[in-house]
């Protein structure tokens, strides 16, 4: 098949390969259905970006893309690439501006029937308690430099130490909520200024907090281990490292652009600016990125605490009756040093996941003890009018995708096109008719994030399910949403 002048060879029903040509060090591989390939990538440069990533020094096996692929900065969103630690590089374009943007899912013991009479007051309370929107601040007091340093080094552990969570929250967060080599000293003053009052804030764009109901269970045994049951009310939080993470990315893109020249890298796109992982520049970016990632985990932890508080206040109930528990927190904009099998050898590699979610299998040492019998929860949000999914990681993901899967629906319309489509429509009423209460900082955000702006996440999840990379466990339906 030829898309935009790029030849793709079909490997399996939902797996396509771009052959290694014109300086590519490895082939490109895209997990996607034929229909999605033809409908969503015919006017997009994302496939070209898959080819560009394949030029990175030290890249192993393939330049990969998930079915929610679309154009991004340097790497496509939905892109995955692993580089070896000897000749390999690290690239901010493979992480993105919103470092450790990710998803957190928490359960309650409540059902939709029980919360329905107070659903609107609940959404209002959540909107009051959790600051949202561009520049949102003030969830907790403005942090001193000393507290900010602790957050950047400890991640969500800081929140728990400050009575903003429980020890079990740490247990059910990827990396236990802390990347250990984070370094406060390599984060700029400007980044620190931007983060000082943004802990516990939701931000804007596609970030959200949703009150969802478990609509379908596909694998009852796995769902039971995750603590999910049909009809259950759950909370989904999607946000990242806010202005601090954006600034870290911006700062280090300048550093790594110079490093690319210094080390003589000839890359097809300057947005792939990179440095050898073991170089001074590479190590500085890695340490700053890890600090921003820790800020993001702490951010989601604080938001979850504020969400729990909102439930307790709205329903005037004891914490023991609410049954509020974290299922998992997983990031989808990150580069991490991990061990993977390359051929017959176990190698340490730097896995870039940009708009891609970790999906580790049963038995993995990197997942909570409780989940070792079934595999890691993989959280895949959709749009605010339809549904999201909980899936589980598999051994095949480790074999083929460095333990990675899709991260969401992926945009179908640009924000500009979505605004045009929304003109003259009352989207708040349309969502209410679908049973979804929404509160947002303005109509513009609702219009830009309207359901039609996104692909149907069911199509995205089905590709990974059919290919055996992840397996569907449960479907969640939104009933209440807050957005920036």
Annotated active-site residue in 352, 407, 416, 465: 407
CA distance 116 to 122: 10
- Give the number of other Cβ atoms within 10 Å of residue 190's Cβ: 14
Q: Which residues are annotated as a binding site for GMP?
A: 206-210, 332-333, 381-384, 388, 407-410, 483
* H or E, element range at 289: helix 280-315
Task: Using alpha carbons, select from 231, 212, 209, 241 the residue that is nearest to residue 125.
Answer: 209
Annotated binding site: 98, 206-210, 238, 332-333, 381-384, 388, 407-410, 483
The answer to whether 325 is a known catalytic residue is no
In the chain the first and final C-alpha atoms are separated, in Å, by 41
Give the Cα separation of 484 and 480 in Å (integer): 14
Residue in this structure with the two tokens 């489509």, named with its chain if needed: 421
Tokens of residue 79, six digits: 């892109």
Could you give the angle at the alpha carbon of 201 between the alpha carbons of 199 and 204, nearest 5°? Answer: 135
Q: What angle (nearest 5°) sits at the alpha carbon of residue 349, between those of residues 347 and 354?
A: 145
Enumerate the known binding-site residues for Mn(2+): 98, 207, 238, 332
Q: Which two tokens stand for residue 381?
A: 């949000």
Burial degree of 25 (CB within 10 A; 0-12, 13-18, 19+)? middle
As given in the structure block, the two tokens for residue 221 are 């045994």
Cα torsion 308, 311, 312, 313 to 10°: value is 120
DSSP-assigned letters across all residues of 62-104: -EEEEEEEE--SSSPEEEEEEEETTT-EE-GGGT-SSTT-EEE
Contact status, residue 303 vs residue 200, Cβ threshold 8 Å: yes
Q: Which helix (H) or strand (E) holds 238?
A: strand 232-239
Please list the active-site residues: 407
């Amino acid at each position: 098949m030829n898309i935009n002048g790029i030849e793709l060879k079909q490997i399996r029903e939902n797996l396509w390969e771009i052959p290694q040509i014109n300086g590519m060090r490895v082939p490109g591989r895209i997990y996607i259905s034929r229909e999605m390939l033809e409908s969503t990538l015919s006017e997009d440069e994302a496939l070209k970006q898959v080819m560009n990533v394949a030029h990175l020094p030290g890249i192993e096996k393939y330049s990969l893309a998930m079915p929610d692929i679309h154009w991004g900065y340097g790497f496509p969103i939905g892109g995955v690439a692993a580089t070896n630690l000897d000749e390999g590089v690290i690239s901010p374009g493979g992480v993105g501006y919103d470092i450790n943007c990710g998803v957190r899912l928490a359960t309650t013991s409540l059902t939709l029937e029980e919360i329905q009479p107070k659903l609107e007051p609940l959404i209002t309370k959540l909107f009051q308690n959790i600051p949202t929107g561009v520049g949102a601040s003030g969830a907790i007091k403005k942090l001193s430099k000393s507290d900010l340093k602790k957050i950047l080094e400890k991640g969500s552990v800081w929140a728990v130490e400050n009575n903003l969570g429980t020890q079990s929250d740490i247990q059910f967060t990827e990396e236990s909520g802390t990347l250990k080599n984070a370094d406060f000293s390599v984060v700029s003053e400007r980044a620190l200024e931007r983060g000082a009052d943004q802990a516990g804030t939701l931000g804007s764009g596609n970030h959200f907090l949703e009150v969802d109901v478990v609509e379908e269970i596909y694998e009852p045994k796995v769902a039971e281990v995750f603590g999910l049951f049909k009809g259950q009310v759950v909370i989904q939080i999607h946000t990242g490292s806010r202005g601090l993470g954006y600034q870290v990315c911006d700062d280090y893109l300048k550093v790594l652009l110079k490093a690319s020249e210094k080390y003589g890298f000839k890359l097809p796109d300057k947005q792939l600016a990179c440095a050898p992982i073991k170089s001074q520049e590479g190590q500085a970016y890695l340490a700053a990125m890890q600090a921003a990632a820790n800020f993001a985990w702490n951010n989601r932890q604080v938001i979850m605490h504020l969400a729990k508080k909102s439930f307790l206040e709205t329903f005037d109930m004891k914490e023991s009756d609410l049954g509020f528990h974290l299922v998992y927190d997983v990031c989808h904009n990150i580069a991490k040093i991990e061990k993977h099998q390359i051929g017959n050898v176990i190698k340490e590699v730097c896995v870039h996941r940009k708009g891609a979610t970790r999906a580790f299998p049963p038995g993995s040492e990197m997942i909570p003890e409780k989940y070792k019998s079934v595999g890691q929860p993989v959280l895949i949000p959709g749009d605010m009018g339809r549904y999201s999914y909980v899936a589980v990681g598999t051994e095949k993901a480790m074999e083929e995708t460095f333990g990675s899967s899709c991260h969401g629906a992926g945009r179908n319309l640009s924000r500009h096109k979505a605004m045009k489509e929304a003109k003259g429509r009352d989207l708040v009423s349309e969502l209410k008719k679908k049973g979804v209460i929404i509160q947002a900082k303005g109509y513009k955000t609702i219009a830009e994030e309207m359901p039609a702006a996104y692909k149907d996440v069911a199509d995205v999840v089905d590709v990974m399910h059919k290919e055996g990379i992840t397996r569907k466990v449960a479907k969640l339906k939104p009933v209440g949403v807050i957005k920036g």
